[in-house]
Structure 1
Amino acid sequence: MLKEFKEFALKGNVIDMAVGVIIGGAFSTIVSSLVNDIFMPVLGLLTGKINFSELYISLDGVDYPTLADAKAVSAPVFAYGSFIQNVIQFLILAFVVFLFMKVINKLKKPAPVAAPTTKVCPYCKSEIHIDAVKCPHCASDLEDTEQ
């Protein structure tokens, strides 16, 4: 069983996937910083200095000065500001991944088109070798038809 696990773990796809998960985690941290430290303060400034991470509704009817105060006393809160921030973070992450994949696809060279190895007999419409001068299916001479 150990040998089978070793074969599975060392397959290229598993290692590629592990590298992708590690890079994805690091990339997520960068996007979180972009949203929380750059984008949300600018958005807050544009919307009248609203701090989205502090937007909440207290479900127990008590008015708390901050979200942290409400959470400190374990009050039930509907923290819609955090949700808005997470949605924006997701949209930025999805857009950056889209742009990244677009660049990667441009860098990939298209697979070379293989030269044809067959042709179609103009008389019987059978597929034959490209160098054939006589159709093996209908015995037609093909040299006169290729010009």
Structure 2
Amino acid sequence: MLNEFKTFIARGNVMDMAVGIIIGAAFTAIVTSLVDDLINPIISLFTGGMDFSGLGFRLGEGEGAATFAYGNFIMAVINFLIIAWVVFLLVKGVNRVKEMAEGPKEEEAPAEPEVTEKDILLEIRDALKAQN
């Protein structure tokens, strides 16, 4: 069982996945900082610094009553959309740089038409007619 575990861990796709998760966590920190520290302040200039996180209402009376905090949900959706847009732009930029580094793509030559048995027989017939 221990050998099976070693084989499983040593597989390339498991290691690739682990590296992807680690890089993803670091990338998340960068994107979060970009959105929180650079993009959200610019957006707040246009929205007058609106913060929906305080919106909600209490579901009952007293200290222990639950709060229906729909404002937090609105802020989470807005942050998600901003982060998704930033990630889209970053991936698009990385892909563009990658394409420029690879250089122009070579166009593939059109495939030769497939020669069938009928085509060969027609050529033989035409060649025999030409000899006569």
TM class by shorter-chain length?
0.5 to 0.7
Instruction: Give the 3-state SS of the residue equivalent to 1:60 in structure 2.
Output: strand
Alignment of 1:36-51 (within 5 A): 36-50=36-50
What is the CA distance between 1:26 and its match in structure 2? 0.5
* Counterpart position of 1:103: 97
Contact in 1 for aligned 2:57/2:67 (Cα 8 Å): yes
Residues 123 and 83 (structure 1), Cα distance of their counterparts in 2 relative to 1, 3 Å cut: closer
Q: Which residue of 1 aligns with 2:22?
A: 22
Q: Give the drift of 1:33.
A: 0.3
Distance 1:105 1:18 in 2: 26
**Residues 107 and 4 (structure 1), Cα distance of their counterparts in 2 relative to 1, 3 Å cut:** farther
Residue 103 of structure 1 deviates from its aligned partner by 3.3
Q: How many residues align?
A: 117
For 1:16, the aligned partner's letter is D
After TM superposition, give the deviation of residue 40 of structure 1 in Å: 0.3
Unaligned runs of 5+ residues in structure 1 are 62-72, 127-136, 143-147
Letter in 2 for 1:58: G
Alignment match of 1:124 (pick from 97, 115, 118): 118
Equivalent residue number for residue 31 of structure 2 = 31
Paired residues for 1:1-147 under 5 Å: 1-50=1-50, 52=51, 54-60=52-58, 75-78=67-70, 79=72, 80-108=74-102, 120-121=114-115, 124-125=118-119, 140=124
SS at match of 2:58: coil
